[in-house]
Structures are given as C-alpha cells and as structure tokens.
Amino acid sequence: MAKQLPKRDLENVGLGVTGACVALVTLVVAALIFMVAQKGLSAFVKDGVSVVEFFTGTKWDLANTAENGLPYTGALPLIVTSFAVMVLSTLIALPIAIGSAIFAVEISPKFGSKVFQPLIELLTGIPSVVFGLIGFHVVVGLMKSVFHVSTGLGILPGAIVLAVMILPTMTTLSVDGLRAVPDGYRQGSLALGYTRWQTIWHVVLKSAMPSLMTAVILGMTRAFGETLAVRMVIGGIEAMPTSLLSPASTITTTLTTSMAVYAEGSAQDDVLWALGLLLMGMSLIFILIIHLIGRKGAKARG
C-alpha cells in the first residue's frame, strides 16, 4: 500500500477530479451550442437568408440560385417530412411497445425479465445502417408490391423502419415505468373487486402515465434525429411530400447528403448549419417536455 495522503488532501483531490469532469462536459456542451448557433445564425445575419422564407418557403434547392443570388432555402418540406416520419413511426411503435410491456410486466413477469427484455436489448444494439439495409431491400420492395407504386421510397417506408428502431427504447422505458408502479396499487385494486384487465387499464397504466409519456417523447426524439436508415428509404427529394409514398427528405437526411457538397463559409453551407441549429432547438424542446412531465408526475404522486 502506498503512503496515504492526509484525509483533507484526498478530499480535495476528489473534488478537483470530479469538478474537472463536470467543467469539461459543461465546456463541451457550451462550445457546441455556441458553434452551431454562430454558424447557423450567420445564414440569416451574414448571408441575408430570410427567416420567414426559411420556415415557410416550400422550395429547397441549394444547387440553383434565385434572382437575389441566394439558393432556394425554404425548409418547410424538410420540417414537415421530419415531423411526419416521427409522428407516424411513433403511432406504429407505441401500441406495440405498451402492449408488450403490459404482457412482460403484468401477465408474464418471469418471461418478461428472462426472455423478452434481453431480446429487446439486443434490438437496441443493432446499428442503424443494418435497419437501413433491410429497409432498402425488404420494406421498399414490400411497398412496391403492396401499393403498386413506382419507386416504393417515401415517408411510409421511412416510418416503418424507424418504428422498428425506436421500439426497443419505447418498450424498455414502458417496462420500467410499469414496474415502478407500487404493488400496493394493484393489490388494493384487486381487493376492491377489479378484474386484472380493469386493474391494468384504470390503475397501472394511469399511474405509470408520466413514465409512458417519457418513453414516447424519447422515442420521438430518436426518430427525429435518426438519419442513416431513413436516408436509405426516403427517396431524397427535397420537395413537399404529396403522399406517404412520394419521395421526400427529412432535415437530417438533407444535412448529411448536402454537407460535403458545398464549400465552407458559403451561403449553402451556412443554411445547412441553420438546419443543424433547428434540430438542436427541437431536441431542446423535447428535453424540456420530458422534464415538465417528470415534475408533474412527481407532484401527482406526492
């Protein structure tokens, strides 16, 4: 055993090390926000892109320039597509996630913790490009044969692929949420003569609501930010989607496909940073919502 430091010094060393970690993380986050904000805002300030045009314009075309010398920067189609994909994938995944969580917690807890949960966790570990590949080769083909469309690319296949991807996040969080409901609630409900179904519906799900909402929001956040898998099946056309099977492009897919094309400091590059800023703002809002739900839930439970 090496010679020990005096206790006070040891305390200080610990304080220093952990404090430095916190300082580092804070610095990284602050620098990140600063850089994205600075670059993103310079699209509006330096290059003179109109903010209104950015949020309401429907023509996105960085390769061509309008009369005012700026590229077409109407991001509304991208925003609409991003939200459509996110909402649709959540709608597909949510019932499955909550349904399987109910089965795994309330109906067959042993199967739930021994078999189902490891299985779901395995799904979390699969890289998104694998989902994209499966989407490109299977889901797109399925769309073609089911709906008789020409390319089979678009919002619907994107949402289906995403639903599979966010399913593990949502299921795991729902399972945790249901498990956290105190057993006394269930016993009390059963003692009052409720059936198992009534107990689950009126008592367990209701008191687990804040955690379920968190599961939904986290799933949505992931869906909103996911890029690679979506990019492979969405079609990549930056235009207002006219149907669920017309090719479109989300904010993230446009970012990744256009980022490498334009020189740094150009108006095109700055507008892409503005898209990044928009994404960051959205995730900030999602996180705020989660915090609000958490606080409300804590209050409701006392």
Q: Which is nearer to other proteins, 142 or 209 (CB)?
A: 142
Q: How many CB atoms lie within 10 A of CB 32?
A: 11
- Please list, in sequence order, all residues whose beta carbon lies within 8 angstroms of the beta carbon of residue 239, skipping any fewer than 6 positions away: 58, 60, 77, 247, 248, 249
Widest pairwise Cα distance in the chain: 77
Residue 187: is it exposed, middle or buried by C-beta count within 10 angstroms (0-12/13-18/19+)? exposed
Q: Is 57 in the site for other proteins (CB under 8 A)?
A: no
Rounded CA gap, 187 and 116, in Å? 25
Q: Is 150 in the site for other proteins (CB under 8 A)?
A: yes
For other proteins, which residue of 47, 106, 226, 238 counts as binding (CB under 8 A)? 238
Q: How far is the CB of 178 from other proteins (least distance, A)?
A: 41
Q: Is 202 in the site for other proteins (CB under 8 A)?
A: no
- Please list, in sequence order, all residues whose beta carbon lies within 8 angstroms of the beta carbon of residue 260, skipping any fewer than 6 positions away: none
Stretch that binds other proteins, among 105-113, 215-223, 237-245, 292-300 (CB under 8 A): 237-245
CA angle 277, 278, 279 (to 5 degrees): 90
- Please list, in sequence order, all residues whose beta carbon lies within 8 angstroms of the beta carbon of residue 8, skipping any fewer than 6 positions away: none
For other proteins, which residue of 158, 252, 258, 273 counts as binding (CB under 8 A)? 258
Q: Which of residues 261-300 bind other proteins (CB under 8 A)?
A: 261-264
Q: Which is nearer to other proteins, 178 or 229 (CB)?
A: 229
Q: Is 240 in the site for other proteins (CB under 8 A)?
A: no
Q: Which of residues 81-120 bind other proteins (CB under 8 A)?
A: none
Beta bridge partners of 73: 60
Q: How far is the CB of 132 from other proteins (least distance, A)?
A: 11
Beta bridge partners of 71: 65
Q: Which is nearer to other proteins, 207 or 254 (CB)?
A: 254
Q: How far apart are the first and last CA of the chain?
A: 49
For other proteins, which residue of 158, 241, 247, 276 counts as binding (CB under 8 A)? 247
Q: How far is the CB of 150 from other proteins (least distance, A)?
A: 4
For other proteins, which residue of 41, 237, 240, 280 counts as binding (CB under 8 A)? 237
Stretch that binds other proteins, among 20-28, 50-58, 121-129, 143-151 (CB under 8 A): 143-151
Q: Is 147 in the site for other proteins (CB under 8 A)?
A: no
Q: How far is the CB of 58 from other proteins (least distance, A)?
A: 13
φ/ψ (deg, to 5) at 71: -70, 165
- Please list, in sequence order, all residues whose beta carbon lies within 8 angstroms of the beta carbon of residue 132, skipping any fewer than 6 positions away: 161, 228, 229, 230, 231, 232, 233
Number of residues binding to other proteins, judged by CB under 8 A: 29
Residue 23 identity (one-letter amino acid): A
For other proteins, which residue of 1, 3, 52, 64 counts as binding (CB under 8 A)? 64
Residues of this chain that interact with other proteins (CB under 8 A) are: 61-64, 136-137, 140-141, 144, 150-153, 231-232, 235-239, 247, 249, 257-258, 260-264
